[in-house]
Chains A and B, each alone.
Chain A
Amino acid sequence: MRPCARRLLVAAGAVVLALAAAVPALALTGDEIIRRMERHERHDSMQSTGSMEITDRFGTRTKSFMSTALGDDRSLLEFTNPEEAGQKVLRLEDEIYLYFPDSEDVIHLQGAALRDSVLGSDFSYEDMTGSSSRLNDYEVVLEGTEEIDGHETYRLRLTAKRRDVVYPVQVAWVDSERFVTRRVELFSRRGRALKRMAVTEFREVGDKVIGTRLEMSDFMKKESMTVFTIDDIAIDEPVDESLFSLEELTF
């Protein structure tokens, strides 16, 4: 065999071996990866306490909270830091109600008000709504694998199926071993990167892996970041349904 032909054969063999190594990783479809990922993210119920550290050009401030959620569409967030103590955010499906203890007033957020940020953070009230499966809203394409913070991840591109989905494109990096989201980037209709969410700490709760430290940054706002930390968490435990009512909100 001529040396040239031998080199060609070796190269072809290397390609075949590389492809063979990649096949297990790409054997899963994007939809399957999302389904496995959401198994860790969606619960019958969740109770947690934690804090939100908000940094912007005016400085850094910390808000602490208690949160209770039931299924995908009911949640109650109550702030416990002295400045906002007693302020509550009740979510009933896609409706948001705010309660302010000083004025004993309930405000129903509607329309453009849902786009306002929560206490000046990088989260909007709208980000708190609509937690149904991403497979309902997006076409998912597995684009390949990448290493994020030393962990092997699947890189998924989610493209909205309908024109009324808030973020028309998302790119998500899902840990290929534990199937948890390590990073998500959100894009506008024109493809402008808007926000990045990075999950940097996890905790095992039962058979689920829960992200307990989440950094949200706004690409368009310089020096802007919100770090969302969960200190205590309990999932799939009984929760009093009456918590999620307007009567209870003002009680």
Chain B
Amino acid sequence: MASLSSRALTSAPAASGAASRGGGGNGKFLLRLAWRNLSRHRRRTVITTVALAVSVAVLIFMDSMLGGIDQESQRNLVWYETGSGRVVTHAQLEDLDQVALKHELVDYLPLSEALSARGIANTPRVGFVGELFFGEGSLPIRLIGIDPDTDEDVYRLRDSLLPDSSYLEAGIPGLILGSWTTDDLGLSLGDFVEVRTRTRHGAMQVLELELVGILLSPNPTINRGVGYLPLDVAQYDLEMEGVTEISLGALPSGLGRPIAVPTGAFLNREIERLNAELGARFPNAAAVGWPQLARDYLALMETKSSSNAMLLFLILLIAAVGISNTMLIAVYERIREFGMMRALGMDDAAIRATMVFEAGIIGLLGSMAGLVVGAAATFWLVNWGIDVSGLYGDVSIGYRVTGEFRGAWNPGTLATSVVFGVLASMAIALLPARRALRLDVVQCLRHE
């Protein structure tokens, strides 16, 4: 009681005097008073600050990781699966999920030249499905006939080949498979496999292909269940004159460098422009952007982003509960002190303001500490990443990322988390302050 009285007395007379002066001087005084109160309760201040800092750091880290996965998934999708878009027939456009050989772009060579003349890298492909047989085993497989000369202008398959692999050569019936498929079937380079499929007209066909390459790409969907063979071999065996698609590479932006992973309004505008230009010369062809080709992936991401938002909300909620708990204890511990201050003439508004300032200072300190720790963790995540290959192995979890999760900088989250930390702390302090100030002075002084 003696120590409480002496501590309260050091500040209360000054408080009552300053509170009666009003204006800017009052605010400064209350701020100083709040700081001194925090200094007096150092242990509690440190605990609350650390709790807030951890929450803010976790929030920044998680947001960075989830954002990084999204960004890298999108990039890997475009670089390994869809290109930035495709030119297909109008009939194929009606049902993009079911690639059918009958929807053939016969005049693909002049179409490809027209795209090149516009500065758009492009490559023709034939997509079809079949059943791959090797030894005792077989599995359904999606096969893609690629032009070995131009495919690299759009896709990055060659960079993903494992050592000792060869790339495809025109006219030679070679096959490149993902390493997950070769592991499943026990295949090695040089093995011959058979693929049972249908020709463009629906007749049974069996392709005999030599495994010349094994790839392990950052996009898990092509590591299993997808194979690549030379375009001319596919065309011959499937009795096709044309192709099922022309994949588009980076789109020219008019700002010097072409955009490798175009998105949003820019992509829509470019696809519309391309359709307007192609329509006149190639009435059978239509361009489509990668988001339309990856609707299932985007739907999955939509669902995941909702759960990610929920996860981040939970982190914020935990932080808010932590702050509120600490503030609650801080206020109730000091009810007698408030009674003393009020008895000496300090009004309720000034006491409330002091408590809000105290919370704000804790919020600022905690958020800044969390920002520093979170930014350091993000820096590490962006530059080195987390190796999850041991956790997921060769299992695809929907993201187009495998092996390593990397982070992404999100300045918005950095700023928001600091602002949130300060404002949430201040807002949370109001409730216990209001409760404490409802008591009259005598009740405050008798509070145990």
Contact = CB atoms under 8 A, between A and B. Distances in A.
B304 interface: no
B138 interface: yes
Chain B interface, DSSP helix/strand/loop, else mixed? strand
A164 B201 contact: yes
A186 B199 contact: no
Contacts of B202: 164, 166
B204 A164 contact: no
Contact of B194 (A57, A189, A220): A220
Interface string B215-259: 000000000000000000000010100000000000000000000
Given A57-B136, A220-B194, A222-B136, A190 B201 contact: no
Interface residues of B, number: 20
Given A220-B196, A221-B138, A166 B100 contact: no
B10 interface: no
Contacts of B98: 111-112
A168 B138 contact: no
A173 interface: no
Contacts of B208: 192
Contacts of B138: 220-221
B199 A189 contact: yes
A225 to B, nearest CB: 15
A79 interface: no
Interface in B355-406: none
B201 A163 contact: yes
A160 interface: yes
Given A192-B194, A194-B196, A163 B100 contact: no
B194 A163 contact: no
A112 B198 CA distance: 10
Nearest to A193: B206
A167 B199 CA distance: 11
B199 to A, nearest CB: 6
Interface in A157-199: 160, 162-168, 186-190, 192, 194
A190 B203 contact: no
A186 B204 contact: yes
B203 A160 contact: yes
A62 B170 CA distance: 47
A159 to B, nearest CB: 12
A112 B129 contact: yes
B205 interface: yes
B136 A188 contact: no
Contacts of B282: none
Contacts of A187: 204
Interface string A67-109: 0000000000000000000000000000000000000000000
Nearest to B238: A189
Given A112-B129, A220-B133, A221-B138, A194 B204 contact: yes
Contacts of A222: 136
B203 A194 contact: no
B20 to A, nearest CB: 79
Nearest to B129: A112
Contact of A189 (B100, B129, B205): B205
A167 B237 contact: no
B370 to A, nearest CB: 52
A192 B199 CA distance: 14
Contacts of A188: 196, 203-206
Given A192-B194, A194-B196, A220-B194, A163 B203 contact: yes
Given A163-B199, A220-B194, 13 more contacts: A165-B203, A167-B203, A168-B203, A168-B204, A188-B203, A188-B205, A189-B204, A190-B207, A192-B206, A192-B208, A194-B196, A220-B133, A221-B133
Interface of A: 57, 111-112, 115, 160, 162-168, 186-190, 192, 194, 220-223
Interface of B: 98, 100, 129, 133, 136, 138, 194, 196, 198-199, 201-208, 237, 239
